[in-house]
Each structure stands twice: as structure tokens, then as C-alpha cells.
Structure 1
Amino acid sequence: MLDDLRSPGDLTGLWRPVTAFGRTLVTTRRQDAALRGHRRRIHQADVFTESEAKAYLTTSHDRTCAWEIVLMAAGETAGLEGVLETDRLLLRPWRVAEAAVQRELWFERDPRVPPHRRIDAAGHPTVAELEQAIRAGRSSAGLLAVERKATGDVIGYCGLIDDGRRFEGEPELVFELLRRTWGRGYATEAAMAVVEWARSAGYGRLWATVWEWNTASRRVLEKLGFTKAGREQVDAVHGSSLVTTRRL
């Protein structure tokens, strides 16, 4: 049993082969695509009581699975206090008190961004709704808060998501920072740290989708070595969405 896994990269070279003799149980707060694979079973779970833990470990389970991976519910700080660090930035899980930063990101998005990614006429999502999402681990799975070390303030997010739109095990790089922090190289610095982490974790390729009119994000992706892989959609209101990729 491997308890409270902090990085999928820690399992590099340790995934044991499927045999008839037992399984390996991993518990983690992470939701990375790298955890998924052949003969690995994923379970969503809340915090175990002592009796529930004993019951789970003594129950007979499907022997065709070599690995049982339990995704534990996130607490107030959604897991680790520190994950990736650069010269100027700390990339770590979101905290509930930072929901207002998430709402500011929603509020200042370009009008050309589709409505479902902007605050609606009724004011949703509210700060309270975003707080609940952070508590449940829904809004921050795979997306780390970007904190400036010098000032301690959170200025956006950066991370990897795997929504199944591309290929299994090839997640998408995403990042978004508050407008007042643009032009200082933070996005490139944060994204590079995530790319390097992905390489060390064993990923072979990453994807990134960007609006054609979003020249700032396109420059960041170019600096990171992403190249165009096609044009995903053309919309008279929102513009063209470009698909880029990078092999690691």
C-alpha cells in the first residue's frame, strides 16, 4: 500500500506487472491522467474513518486489477502546500480563501470567450460557489494556483487537464493569469515548470488549445516549443480555436 501519493512521477518504474498474487493500493489527492492505465482501477472516496479503512482493506476485490487507486477528497488546502517551485513562483493547490481570485479571473475574461466561461447574467459562479468547488476538489483538479513568492499573492493558475478530447495519457496544458500581472513572464515561467514536471512524470506529449486572437498566450506556447497541429473550430463570434502540441 502506498499512502498519500504526492506526485505520479514518484511511481516511475514502480508500476508492478499484473499477477495473480495481490494488488497494490495507492491513496492520493491528485487526479493526474498519468495515474490511469491498463489494469488500474480508480475510486473516488471521501475521508475514511478507521472502520471504513479496515473494511475496505479486508474486502475481496476484482483480481484482474493490479492497482487500486483511491482519489481522496481534498481538504481545506486541497492537498499539498507546495508542488512546483521556480525562481519567482510557487505552484500549489488552491485554498478556499482564494476563491475571490478565481472569480476575478472569470470576471475579466475577454468578451469573445464563450459564455459558459464567463460570469452569467445572474452573477454565477459566485465566490461561495467557487469556494465550494475548491473544497470538493472540482475546480482545482490538476490546476495549481500560481503564487508569487515575493508577495505571497495568487495571480492565476497553471496545470494539466485530461478531458478525453485528445489521446489518453496526453493531457492539455492550461494557464490563466490576472490581467494586472501580464507582460512579466509569469505565464511562461509557470508553464515551463509544468512542462518539465510532465516530462519527469513520463508523459510523451502535451496539447494546448488557444484562441487565434489570444496573441499573448500564443507567444507563451511558442516559447515553450508548442507547434500548430490544426484548427479546431471557427466561430463568427468567438473566433478560431487553434490546437498546438509538443513532444516531451
Structure 2
Amino acid sequence: MNRVVISTKRLNLRKMRIDDVENLQEIFSDQIAMKYYPSTKNEKETISWISWTIDNYKNYGAGLWIVERKDTGAFLGQCGIVPQKIDGKTEMEIGYLFARRSWGNGYATEAAGACKEYGFGQLQLSKLISLPDVKNERSIKVAKRIGMKAEKTINKWGKEVLLFSALA
């Protein structure tokens, strides 16, 4: 069962499954794709990531979804809405991480924009955030392209990130 949550012109975003380990490992084992994360992930850590994501579906009605090309079904990456603790409260973040071979095609912007619409429309959220590393120009551009505004720089995950936000 495909379990498509969001569909755009070119993309399907579907619920993550345990058998997505191999797809996710393409990203998580790539040091360049993971440059702004604390480290790459092995298979065991990837399984934990999938479990955390599935828990988010249950607890928040959202999480990271697998992004696939609509025409071929090819795996491109992950994008979705995840809880983050900011200043002691839970905010919902649009997060995105794509396989390097798919960079530069507008997939992250298309998927993140669809997640923003889903968050405000389906989930009735009043605010969404994004937390790109201050040096991650590609992710910063995606946040700006989907209409988010930089609010401030914060320290999270032991590094400086920009807090972008958008209001419904």
C-alpha cells in the first residue's frame, strides 16, 4: 500500500515504512548530503529514525514523508512536518533532506511548499518553522522560496541555526 499523504505536480509524499532503510541510507551514509547534520547514520540509526517518524505520525498526525517522483516512483528524499522544542515549547518544523542526485531540480521547494499548505490546511497549524544551519545556503533558499521569514539565530543540536517561520 502506497499511503500517499500529499501529491504535487511532480511528487508524491508518502508515509515512511521500515523497508525505506535502503533508500534513506543513500542520504544518511552520504557525508556531503549530511554535512549539516551531526554525523552520518548507519543502518541501525536509520531504523531508529524511521521508528521516531512513525511515532510522530501517531502523536502529531504528521512526520517526515518519503518523497518520490510521481511519474517513475523513484526515491528522491524526505520532507515533512516534525515537532521541535524551541524555547521550551513544541513548534512544528518543515524539514527536508534529499538525495544528492536529486538536488537542483526544485524538488525540496515543491515538497516543502506542499507541506506548508498541508500544515496550515489539513493540520490547522497557526505557525510553521524551519531550522536550517546558518551555513546551509540551499536549505535557507528553500525556506525563503516557500515564503518563510528569518526571525533569529538560535543554538540547537550544538550549532547555530536560523529560525524561519510562517504564519497561517
Q: Normalising by structure 2, what TM-score?
A: 0.81
Quick one: distance in 1 between partners of 2:22 and 2:124? 34
Check whether the contact 1:206–1:246 (CA below 8 A) recurs between aligned residues. Answer: yes
Q: Residue 158 of structure 1: which of 56, 79, 85 is its match?
A: 79
> 1:247: how far off?
0.9
Aligned to 1:62: none
Q: Say if 2:99 is the partner of 1:178.
A: yes
Q: Name the aligned partner's letter for residue 36 of structure 2.
A: V
Check whether the contact 2:84–2:90 (CA below 8 A) recurs between aligned residues. Answer: no
Check whether the contact 1:92–1:144 (CA below 8 A) recurs between aligned residues. Answer: yes
Task: Say which is worse superposed, 216-225 or 90-99, in terms of deviation.
Answer: 90-99
Cα gap change, 1:88 to 1:229, in 2 (>3 Å): same
Aligned to 1:240: 160
> Considering only CA atoms, is the larger Rg found in Structure 1 or Structure 2?
1
Q: Residue 46 of structure 2: which of 121, 130, 149 is its match?
A: 130
Quick one: distance in 1 between partners of 2:86 and 2:159? 20
> 1:114: how far off?
4.6
Q: Residue 94 of structure 1: which of 16, 25, 44 is its match?
A: 16
Q: Which runs of 5+ in 1 are unaligned?
A: 1-76, 120-124
Quick one: distance in 2 between partners of 1:189 and 1:240? 26
Aligned to 2:145: 223
| Larger strand proportion of the pair | 2
> 1:87: how far off?
0.7
Once the two structures are superposed, the pairs formed by residues 36-47 of structure 1 within 5 Å of their partners are none
Check whether the contact 1:105–1:177 (CA below 8 A) recurs between aligned residues. Answer: yes
Residues 156-192 of structure 1 deviation map (CA, whole Å, 9 limit, x = unaligned): 1111111332575641110111111011110011011
Quick one: distance in 2 between partners of 1:243 and 1:133? 23
Once the two structures are superposed, the pairs formed by residues 41-190 of structure 1 within 5 Å of their partners are 81-110=3-32, 112-115=35-38, 117-119=39-41, 125-126=42-43, 130-131=46-47, 134=50, 137-140=51-54, 141=56, 142-165=63-86, 170-190=91-111
Pairwise CA RMSD: 2.6
Quick one: distance in 1 between partners of 2:88 and 2:127? 10
| Larger helix proportion of the pair | 2
Cα gap change, 1:219 to 1:133, in 2 (>3 Å): closer
Residues 180-227 of structure 1 deviation map (CA, whole Å, 9 limit, x = unaligned): 101111001101111001111211111111112211111111111111
Number of residues of Structure 1 aligned to a counterpart in Structure 2: 159
Quick one: distance in 2 between partners of 1:149 and 1:112? 28
> 1:108: how far off?
1.6
Q: Which runs of 5+ in 2 are unaligned?
A: 57-62
Cα gap change, 1:129 to 1:231, in 2 (>3 Å): closer
Quick one: distance in 2 between partners of 1:202 and 1:166? 22
